[in-house]
Amino acid sequence: MRWNKDVSRCLLFLSRRYYRSALANRDQAVVRVSNNITYLGYPKEGAKPCQLLSLPPFPGHPLPGKKAATGPDQPSRHVTAISWIKYYFDEIPGSVILSHFNKGLVRLDLNESSTIKEGRTRLLKKIKHSDIMEVGARIYVPISVAETRISKRYDVIPSGTLYPNADEIAYLQRLVFYKDPAIIVLNKPPKLPVKGNLPVHNSMDALAAAALSYEYDEGPRLVHRLDRESSGLHLMGRTEESISHLHLLFSNTKKSKTLSKAWNDACGSTYQRYWALVIGSPKEKEGVISAPLTKVLLDDGRTDRVMLAQHSGLEASEEAVTEYRLLGPMINGCSWIELRPHTSRKHQLRVHCAEALGTPIVGDYKYSWFVHRKWKQMPRVDVEPTTGKPYRLKRPEGLDVQKGSVLSRVPLLHLHCRELVLPNIAKFIELHSRKIKNLNPDNSSKPDLLRFVAPMPSHMKISWKLMSSYLI
């Protein structure tokens, strides 16, 4: 009898000790998924890799597209860290950005210079959402902050007909991102042609006349063009006067008329920013490409191709300048970069990436066929940069990854016009019109600059999630 009591006490002691140990390790346990089976495990040894996304240096206040406070009774407002990130990621919900602050994942670069020499570590510190931004300060956030919702339904362009039908008209109207009396901004999907010819009936200019005229007698007209394979913000003018202003604004000669100092300042603040996924990684994290372009005619006598000028003096070349910045680390042999063209040349970004940087854009079969002829579906296994051990990328649930993403055998072009800043054309036209006496007093309160940020198309969102998620 006594022996049984001793055994029961021993078992009770061991069970309590095991329970306390389980409680101590409970917070360290993580959920893992292997072969569609979920089980409880423990974190991998070593530091968990954190892929950081670099924001541009803070430009200061006022931000483009925001109304500045003026006058002695309206001092300049400070810009907080969360306001700057919300401004840059305009398409991301504020609650998602705030959660990254609450988890202590937002960092500030403490180095005096943004350029870090080889072998020197970057000094980063955690910041709060209420911290005030200083001009030139650079913030780093996890790439997961830009993981937006992906629709399971892949957008399909309606089949072209000789005359636009109701489906095509409704389709184009859904693409309207912004509309005012002077301009229309669309979020163009890939594979939709901008300028059509005889065999192309569902091009954007053909559909616009029937679908986007609204209360005007004529439809809007093209101001600048995106490649058929590219996606993103596409600008159209609605009136003869606005089209004239926009043509001068986007012309490479920059011979715009001097209407006023405010107009000149707004023109100087105009820019476009693209996001692209490239194969490889540039040697320098940021820089300016100044490489003139020229056109050559291929052997078939019909097809032309843009290439870097050879400076022989015998060829006609055009100046082409592109500013670039690396967004984050190289993942599975590819890198996300941000491109800001200072000139508007045909296929400028694609040629500069492929030939000047040596990092062709994913899905660019015209200027990087030599890379894509060996293209294979991206492997599911890679190596952690910190431990050297293999890991698995999280696959977004419910998505068909064979729709142009990096896992497709034939990926679509990963080039997206994400951000556009331009003068408020409607405001300036009204301010400088002959009917200035009958000017609407509310017009002066409108901002001088308009800013638009368009979310990435489905295939680029899928690639971003597949390559940029936290790893388990």
The DSSP string of 93-108 is -HHHHHHHHHTT--EE
**Rounded to whole angstroms, how far apart are CA atoms 363 and 345?**
20
Catalytic entry in 109, 227, 364, 448: 227
pLDDT at 447: 83
pLDDT at 350: 93
Assess whether pLDDT exceeds 60 at residue 248.
yes
pLDDT at 129: 92
Tell me: the pLDDT tens digits for 168-219? Answer: 788 888 889 999 999 999 998 888 877 755 445 567 777 787 788 888 888 8
131 is a catalytic site residue: no
Quick one: average pLDDT of 438-466?
79
- 3-class secondary-structure state, position 294: strand
User: In which band, very low, low, confident or very high, does the pLDDT at 142 lie, cut at 50, 70 and 90?
Assistant: confident
Cβ-based neighbours of 143, under 8 Å, separated by 6 or more: 51, 52, 53, 328, 464, 468
Assess whether pLDDT exceeds 80 at residue 380.
no
Assess whether pLDDT exceeds 80 at residue 468.
no
CB distance 346 to 320 below 8 Å: no
pLDDT at 441: 53
Assess whether pLDDT exceeds 90 at residue 416.
yes
Assess whether pLDDT exceeds 90 at residue 233.
yes
pLDDT at 381: 47
Quick one: average pLDDT of 370-395?
59
CA 78, 82, 85, 86 torsion-angle sign? negative
pTM of this prediction?
0.79
Assess whether pLDDT exceeds 80 at residue 437.
no
**How confident is the prediction for the chain on average, in pLDDT?**
75
Assess whether pLDDT exceeds 80 at residue 252.
no
Task: Point out which residues pair with 40 in neighbouring strands.
Answer: 31
Q: Of 138 and 300, which is predicted with more confidence? A: 138
Percent of the chain beyond pLDDT 70?
Answer: 65
Nearest by Cα to 349 from 420, 392, 293 = 293
H or E segment to which residue 83 belongs: helix 81-88
**Rounded to whole angstroms, how far apart are CA atoms 116 and 85?**
23
* CA distances in angstroms from 3 to 6, 9, 11, listed in the order given: 5, 10, 12
Assess whether pLDDT exceeds 60 at residue 222.
yes
* Buried b or exposed e, range 259-293, using 16+ CB within 10 angstroms: beeebeebbebbebbbbbbbbebbeebbeebebbb
